């Protein structure tokens, strides 16, 4: 199979997309692009501010614009925001221009990673703000999991380091 133009990582928040993407981009010499970071940079506001001031629908429109532009390029490792793959347009674009990998993790693993990120000073996640509980996270994951499963490849990240996950993905990529 011919290698696609991009490697696109999808999955729930804290599934490891940014960490794994960084390792893969270093190994391939490709550019890592985080769609959330690109939106924050272009609008000059945090994701929480965008959600609070303009709403989730506006954020999703900007996310779609960013993804459309990125999918026109090649040689990218794209870390897609947790909700990006819910959009049919985004899914179609990603699946047609890259190898899309779903980084899966159990709800308890995701919950611990989010808590650890917050302890380290990471910004709060807007869709969980004010209600960070394992139950709330599991409910949100449940609404998204069927979409994530439409990705070309799936990797369970619970007991793997970013380096191990990257090794696994690069083996797939070279096939």
What pLDDT does residue 32 have?
98
Residue 111 belongs to a domain: yes
What pLDDT does residue 124 have?
62
Strand partners, 76: 6, 31
- List CB contacts of 103: < 8 A, sequence separation 6 or more: 9, 10, 11, 15, 16, 17, 20, 155, 157, 165
pLDDT digits (tens, 9 = 90+) for 97-130: 999 999 999 999 999 988 887 777 666 655 556 6
Q: Report the distance separating Cα 115 and Cα 138, nearest Å.
A: 15
Q: String of b and e for 126-142 (b: at least 16 CB within 10 Å)?
A: bebeeeeeeeebeebbe
Asked if 10 and 148 touch (Cβ cutoff 8 Å), the reply is: yes
Mean pLDDT, to the nearest integer, of 43-59? 93
What pLDDT does residue 88 have?
96
Domain count of the fold of the chain: 1
Residue 1 belongs to a domain: no
Closest CA to 39 of 68, 66, 79: 66
What pLDDT does residue 174 have?
73
Residue 69 belongs to a domain: yes
Give the range of the structural domain holding residue 38, as residue numbers without chain letter: 6-174
Residue 114 belongs to a domain: yes
**CATH number, position 62:** 3.40.50.300
pLDDT digits (tens, 9 = 90+) for 82-100: 999 999 999 999 999 999 9
Residue 35 belongs to a domain: yes
Asked if 42 and 62 touch (Cβ cutoff 8 Å), the reply is: yes
pLDDT digits (tens, 9 = 90+) for 26-46: 999 999 999 999 999 999 999
Residue 113 belongs to a domain: yes
pLDDT digits (tens, 9 = 90+) for 114-172: 888 777 766 665 555 666 788 888 998 999 999 999 999 999 999 999 999 999 999 87
């Amino acid at each position: 199979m011919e290698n696609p133009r991009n490697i696109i990582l999808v999955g729930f928040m804290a599934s490891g997309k940014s960490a794994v993407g960084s390792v893969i981009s270093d190994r391939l010499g490709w550019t890592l692009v985080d769609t959330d970071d690109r939106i924050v940079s272009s609008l000059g506001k945090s994701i929480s501010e965008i959600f609070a001031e303009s709403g989730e629908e506006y954020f999703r429109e900007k996310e779609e614009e960013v993804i459309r532009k990125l999918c026109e390029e090649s040689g990218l490792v794209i870390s897609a925001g947790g909700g990006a793959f819910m959009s049919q347009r985004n899914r179609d674009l990603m699946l047609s221009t890259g190898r899309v990998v779903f980084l899966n993790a159990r709800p308890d693993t995701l919950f611990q990673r989010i808590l650890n990120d917050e302890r380290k000073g990471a910004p709060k996640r807007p869709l969980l703000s004010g209600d960070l509980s394992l139950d709330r996270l599991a409910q949100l994951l449940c609404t998204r999991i069927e979409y994530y499963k439409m990705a070309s490849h799936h990797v369970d990240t619970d007991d793997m380091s970013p380096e191990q996950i990257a090794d696994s993905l690069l083996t797939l990529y070279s096939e």
